[in-house]
Structure formats: C-alpha cells, structure tokens
Structure 1
C-alpha cells in the first residue's frame, strides 16, 4: 500500500470518527433532555403524593 493510499484512508477514518462523535453527542444531548423531563415529572408526583414531607415531625411542617 502506498503512502498516498494510507493518508487517504487515515483522512477517511478521521472523518468517519468525527461524524460518529457528532452523532453520539447529539444522542447524549437528547438523553439528557429526556432525563430532565422525567425528573421533573417525578418531582411533581412526589410533591402531589406528599412523599417529601415528614409524617411525624411537627417542627418540619
């Protein structure tokens, strides 16, 4: 294999890796947004159920 072919292959692989990284970053960003939404919904349910309030601590009320 010639040096030119090796350089082209390295450039192609770098480009492919950069595209894969972009795709993973976008997937992670989407997952983080979904997590924020889920945590918000969970917090609303915990508040509605009163789970976050102590049952037998009059000073905490």
Structure 2
C-alpha cells in the first residue's frame, strides 16, 4: 500500500510541476510582449528626438 501512495504522490507532484511550468511560460510570454512594446516605444522616441541621426540636435527636431 505504501508504494501506491507514493505513486499517487508522484502523479500529483508531476501535475503540480506541469502547472507551475505552464504558469512560468505564460509569465515569460507576457514579459516578452512587454519588452517588445517598450522597445517599440523607445524606437519611436529615438526617432522623434532625432537621436538616430549622425549629428542629432534635439533643438532642430
């Protein structure tokens, strides 16, 4: 009977670990989306400020 309990515990632990892995993967995907959005916003600001030009002059923008 002890081995049946251990098998059940292993199954439950596997299920719990798979759920945690799924949750972490979702968090990573969300963080990647946030990074992409922030990079896009940064590019827009760099372009607006003219910082991507060789002789950038914020006053000329």
Cα distance between partner residues in 2 of 1:53 and 1:13: 56
Cα deviation for residue 26 of structure 1 reads 0.5
Instruction: Say which SS state the counterpart of residue 53 (structure 1) adopts.
Output: coil
Runs of 4+ in 1 over 2 A off after TM superposition: none
Partner of 1:36: 36
Q: Work out which structure has the larger RCO, using CA pairs closer than 8 Å and 6 or more positions apart in sequence.
A: 2
Cα distance between partner residues in 1 of 2:22 and 2:30: 12
CA-based RMSD of the aligned residues comes to: 1.5
Partner of 1:12: 12
Cα distance between partner residues in 1 of 2:44 and 2:8: 54
TM-score norm. by structure 1 comes to 0.87
* 1:50 matched to 2:41: no
More helix by share: 2
Query: How many residues get paired?
Result: 56
